[in-house]
Amino acid sequence: MQIWRRGNTPMLHPEIIGHVQVILAMCIVGSSVAVGKVVSVEVPVFLASFIRFAVALLFIVPLNRMLAGSLRLPPRKVALLLGAQAFFGIFLFSVCLLLGLKRTAAVNAGVIFGMLPAVNALLSVWLLHEKLNQRYAIGIGLSVLGAVLLELRSADGGGFGVGVVGMLLILCAVFCEAMFSVIGKLSGLSLPAVTVTCWVILIGVALFMPGALYEAASFDFRSISPKVWWLLAYYGVVVTVIGFSLFYAGLSKISAVAAGVHMAFVPLSAMAIAVLILGEAFGLIDALSLLLVLAALFVIGLKPESPAQSLIEKPLAFLKEWQKWLNKNQ
């Protein structure tokens, strides 16, 4: 474990804290899949999302004032990035996720979210020009393999009835979540995490308001059960305020590619909720997928000079030399 000191006080290295913050944020995102499934049954998509972000706004505005002072207009470039992030990561993500959950099971949606590490890594390399080194490539491969095993689990349980439309909508949500991460790396560095969260929530409320007003005109609010009201509150406070704040705080300390590897915790979190709360079985495939994700985190966290890292790099170097020899002697 890496320890650094502020004065005479030993503290965890900021990068380790960043990894923990992003992991916690991804676990919260995973819980939102099951919550969204229940909410989407009783409340229309735009109205549910508006209530969620309106509740979040009630908490984030005073929290931002307490931690960062008055909310001020950011520079034009940052404002444009925040607008793009809110459009992809809040508006399109919520619409695609809730509409997709109407057409597929929450477990299957969690499995599809296992593609997040790969999609995020590709966007980070393409848009941020981050390097995809061997450690990250192996870590992404292991995390995606873990998600594939979760897919096998849902198939064995008879839950693999994913409609084409529902699958495409969840895949669009995956892309939007990855864009949210990549754009956040650009826009979140010059502002405190709580301020960035406040701005994207505020923009999200504005984006959902027209559709929410249209749906509210013909909706009977008495049809919402007390359980769903509590889940909407959880959606707003825990998933949005706490989850977003943890994500932005962690993303300022680690690379977008590394954050993408931790997105493998989204399907694992969804699986844990299914097991612990819904009472589904935890089998061998579940255990193997968990081990693969933990192995991915271990590989990503290795130092370049560590003995374990050399155990990974030496076989890869041998394979490259073997390939060169084959090409030379053909």
Residue 7 belongs to some domain of the structure = no
Residue 298 lies in domain:
12-328
Residue 57 belongs to some domain of the structure = yes
Q: What does the pLDDT read at residue 176?
A: 92
Strand partners, 11: 4
Structure tokens at 318: 């041998």
Q: Which residues contact 60 (CB under 8 A, 6 or more apart)?
A: 194, 197, 198, 201, 240, 241
Residue 3 belongs to some domain of the structure = no
Residue 6 belongs to some domain of the structure = no
Residues 251 and 23: beta-carbon distance below 8 Å: no
Q: What does the pLDDT read at residue 321?
A: 54
Structure tokens at 155: 């198939």
Residue 314 belongs to some domain of the structure = yes
Question: What domain count does the chain have?
Answer: 1
Residue type, 76: R
Residue 238 belongs to some domain of the structure = yes
Residue 245 belongs to some domain of the structure = yes
Q: What does the pLDDT read at residue 276?
A: 76
Q: What does the pLDDT read at residue 199?
A: 93
Report mean pLDDT in 10-residue bins for the chain, 330 residues: 46 75 88 84 93 94 88 86 91 91 73 73 78 75 73 54 70 88 69 86 94 95 93 92 86 75 77 70 70 72 50 47 56
Residue 5 belongs to some domain of the structure = no
Q: What does the pLDDT read at residue 127?
A: 81
pTM of the model: 0.74
